[in-house]
Amino acid sequence: MKIVQCNQLTKIFGKHKALDNLSFSISEQKITGLIGRNGAGKTTLLKILAGFHHKSAGDIKVLGEQPFNNLKVAANMIFVDDKMTFPAALRLGDIIESASKFYPNWDDGLAIGLFDYFGLNADQSHQNLSKGMKSTFNLIIGIASRCPLTILDEPTTGMDAAVRKDFYRAMLKDYLAHPRTMILSSHLLNEIEDLIEDVLLIREGQLCLHMPVDELKEYAVGLTGSSQQLEVYLGGRDTFYRETIGTDTTYVVVYNNLTEAELAKLKSEGIKISAVSTNDICVYLTQKNKGGIDDVFNRS
């Protein structure tokens, strides 16, 4: 079953096109990482999926329904980000108690266990928490609610590395025990690579790629060698990153479609072949210039 289906989804704010003919689908019981640079349209997309924003054009279905102001979608979804607000009169303990009555799949034992583990105080007010502690509390609500569709928009904002690591492990353990559809947005793929199953990469509101993480790991290969040799080899071959090292060495990233014969020839000519991390692939695919910051200095 497709939990999310988007066909040429477009969202325009004034003169700015935040989403541009975006088409993809997400199956049930899968963790998808929504990756993109700041301003790529991640939050806009997630808020449309959650029913907070109306589309400008295209088609969208969430749980088989149009999500905007839809009670079915709202009842089966939770949206977690660093801007979650709760009534100022309620203490954290009150919010936990209220959530247990609101979400049908709520796990009180898990919520209390995480609450105690991360050192939260039931008498504290949400609005008085630090940024990191707010994110911690919000994620407890997000995980313990066990909604069929759980949307997490940069959920670890303000957390230190140790807390982020603990939360990712908690999310994975609970997901394995109670599968549901989760969409986790981030601009740091390396932090969530072991947690997610699929990568949905967007750039300036458009789809760059959507594939399993395992396939992304084999998506590209790096070549390092003499600039002259690489120029001869590359010819018209498409590259999506190029960097000059020293005076006569070049590093390029190309699609991993090299034949065994090509690999053998490259090695015989002294060209080093290396793997490219998934995080670097996403960075290279979403940058405007194939040489990155080096392009600024190469203009002169």
pLDDT at res. 190: 87
Beta bridge partners of residue 215, listed in sequence order: none
pLDDT at res. 235: 75
In angstroms, the CA 95 to CA 265 distance is 64
- The pTM assigned to this predicted structure is 0.91
Q: What domains can you pick out in the chain, each with its CATH number?
A: 2-211 (3.40.50.300), 217-298 (3.30.70)
Read off the tokens for 110.
């898990």
Compute CA distances 294 → 2, 84, 187, 245, 298, whole Å: 42, 39, 22, 10, 6
Give me the tens of pLDDT residue by residue for the chain, a chain 300 residues long: 899 999 999 999 999 999 999 999 999 999 999 999 989 999 999 999 999 999 999 999 999 999 999 999 999 999 999 888 898 889 999 999 999 999 999 999 999 999 999 999 999 999 999 999 999 999 999 999 999 999 999 999 899 999 999 999 999 999 999 999 999 998 778 889 999 999 999 999 999 999 999 999 999 999 999 888 888 887 777 888 888 887 889 899 999 988 888 888 888 888 999 999 999 999 999 887 666 666 666 655
Alpha helices in 50-203 (DSSP H): 71-75, 92-102, 108-117, 131-144, 161-177, 189-192
pLDDT at res. 300: 53
Length of the chain in terms of residues written: 300
Give φ, ψ of 54 to 5 degrees.
-95, 145
pLDDT at res. 292: 62
